[in-house]
Amino acid sequence: MAALATVLIFPHYSAFGERNLRYLEKGEKQPLKVKKILNWDSLGKRHQSSPDELDVGFEFHFQNKMDKEVRITRAFTSCGCTVAKLPKTPWIINPGQKGTIPITMDLRGKTGIIIKESTIITNLGTIILTTKVSIGSANGSLVVKRARSAEERAANLRLAVKNRQAVFQQDCIECHVKPTIGKRGKQLYATACGICHDAINRAPFVTELRALSKGKDKAYWNMWITDSKSGSLMPAFAKKHGGPLDDLQIKSLVAYLTRIFPREIKTKKAVQAAATAKVPPLK
């Protein structure tokens, strides 16, 4: 019998209050003993990446050890750079049945320690699967992204006022152009839009898109992404304006923002509301 892998424990709080999440190293195995609706090999997996890794894939293995079926209806992730792949939904997991959920993280343009959550929605509740990657440098040391100072952010703002397309030029290419190469849909949103609009320390003039998205149609998103608008600081992403996106990428981004993005927001709010609801006192 193969030796069981060591499970490393790190203090961790997920968005849903879980603590002391047990991370299993990528590729290592242990019995399906972690109970969260289904039985899992682990609810958290981690990996120390090499400098040349652009993507890292994890597999979460499970089995239904109950006497009733479990229906997995959908999955959404905390960031577009992470994708949890399901077969055709609803995915019916019968008693005794085993399965695997592959989760892929895109590491392009990222540094330091990256932690992402994938929420699996079932008829019996939600399951949070956490993936953690430590991104290493060429000499094996951990790369820690340096936070920009207030002075640097002010300088970037002045540069954007003079030329809003500057975000796609010179030193900015590493963060705002290269990570978008080959991306479509949700992953493209994360690398092209989320990097600014979802940033914790985003500039005051950068809109929070989730608050803005309700009722917006394809024409709205297509206009802003392709050409932007005169007098605004939003850059134009189309290649004809010096941006990084081709027509197919823009089309996929517009489709994501009009069809999937609003549903993700609605689902996420519902899950968070259910998780934070007060538990009635015992009688």
User: What's the 3-state SS for 72-105?
Assistant: EEEEEECCCCEEECCCCCCEEECCCCEEEEEEEE
Task: Please tell me the predicted confidence (pLDDT) of residue 275.
Answer: 63
pLDDT digits (tens, 9 = 90+) for 84-140: 999 989 999 999 999 999 999 888 767 788 889 999 999 999 999 999 998 875 555
pLDDT digits (tens, 9 = 90+) for 232-277: 889 999 999 999 999 999 999 999 999 888 887 777 777 767 666 6
What are the CA-CA distances from residue 197 to residues 9, 54, 192, 215 (Å)? 33, 23, 9, 18
Four-way CATH pick for 7-135: 3.30.70.20, 3.30.70.890, 2.60.40.10, 3.50.50.60 = 2.60.40.10
* 170/234 Cα distance (integer angstroms): 18
List the strands of the sheet with 82-84, edge to edge: 34-36, 38-40, 55-63, 98-106, 82-84
Helix (H) or strand (E) holding 209: helix 209-212
Confidence of residue 20 (pLDDT cuts 50, 70, 90): low
* 14/149 Cα distance (integer angstroms): 28
Helix (H) or strand (E) holding 270: helix 261-276
**Higher-pLDDT residue of 269, 72:** 72
**Higher-pLDDT residue of 202, 231:** 231
Task: Please tell me the predicted confidence (pLDDT) of residue 14.
Answer: 47
Residues of the chain within CATH 2.60.40.10 domain(s) are 7-135
What pTM does this model have?
0.59
Place of tokens 């030193």: 171
* 73/71 Cα distance (integer angstroms): 6
Task: Please tell me the predicted confidence (pLDDT) of residue 141.
Answer: 57
pLDDT digits (tens, 9 = 90+) for 216-225: 899 999 999 9
Average pLDDT, the chain: 81
* 283/114 Cα distance (integer angstroms): 43
Q: Which residues contact 217 (CB under 8 A, 6 or more apart)?
A: 258
Confidence of residue 6 (pLDDT cuts 50, 70, 90): very low
